[in-house]
Amino acid sequence: MKTISKTTTKSSKINKKQSVSKRKLAAIGVMAIVTAITVANSLTLVYLYYSGRISYDNDKIVHLILRGSQLTSKPAVIEPLSGKVYLPDAKLVLPPASEEVGEIVYRYSPAYDVNSKEEINIARTIDIVSAGSKIISAPEDIEKKFEGVPELQACSRGIRITFEPDAALEPVATKKLTNGKTAHFYTEVLCNNPQLITYVQQIDSY
């Protein structure tokens, strides 16, 4: 009887662990779906509105647009003692950001296969907020609000860095990194910030 009791207890613990793991996986799955849906809503919003398939009020539309711009990037990691700004996914580091540069956010796209290329976008939070504020403060005519979307998208992308030259564009600068790669820097016409360009060119690998 004692042996059966111990076996039953162990089985119960295993079942509980499996149940917790399943709940965690389910929660992660739901979060991923919600994020994907929110981004997709923002990207297709203009088409749906003009095709007459949606009739959201302006506040909801603006909320989706702003939310979509926020979900594409994440904050850089600041090392407390040195103040250095790390982009862990890309294994890149920047010197401490000045007050003029402010908070940095980034989006890293690794090379998943031979058809994709590694690249990273670095942007200033203040530029994204400023572009978003223009949309909020635009006249209530929704068409006027949509006019600010291209600038918001450009500021969300910020400075684009590739490690292979883009034949269709001229980089504002190039830099050889410690890891041997050459970084090519590209700017956005609608959100061209000299302070950010100067700062980002100090990037290096670690």
Residue with tokens 């990273």: 120
Which of 47-56, 59-68, 162-171 has the lowest average pLDDT? 47-56
What are the structure tokens assigned to 93, written together? Answer: 């580091």
Lowest mean pLDDT among 43-52, 121-130, 131-140, 141-150: 43-52
Structure confidence at residue 69 as a pLDDT band (50, 70, 90): low
Q: What pLDDT does residue 141 have? A: 77
Across 7-24, average pLDDT = 49
Model confidence over 97-132: pLDDT tens digits? 999 999 999 999 998 887 789 999 999 999 998 998
The rounded distance, in Å, linking the Cα atoms of 141 and 137 is 11
> What DSSP letter does each residue of 34-71 carry, written as one string?
HHHHHHHHHHHHHHHHHTTS----HHHHHHHHHHHHHH
Secondary structure (DSSP) of the chain: -HHHHHHHHHHHHHHHHHHHHHHHHHHHHHHHHHHHHHHHHHHHHHHHHHTTS----HHHHHHHHHHHHHHT-EEPEEPTTT--EEEGGGTEEEPPPPTTT--EEEEEE---STT---EEEEEEHHHHHHHHHHHHHS-S-HHHHHTTHHHHHHHHH-EEEESS--TTS--SEEEE-TTS-EEEEE--GGG--HHHHHHHTT-EE-
Q: Which two tokens stand for residue 119?
A: 């690249």
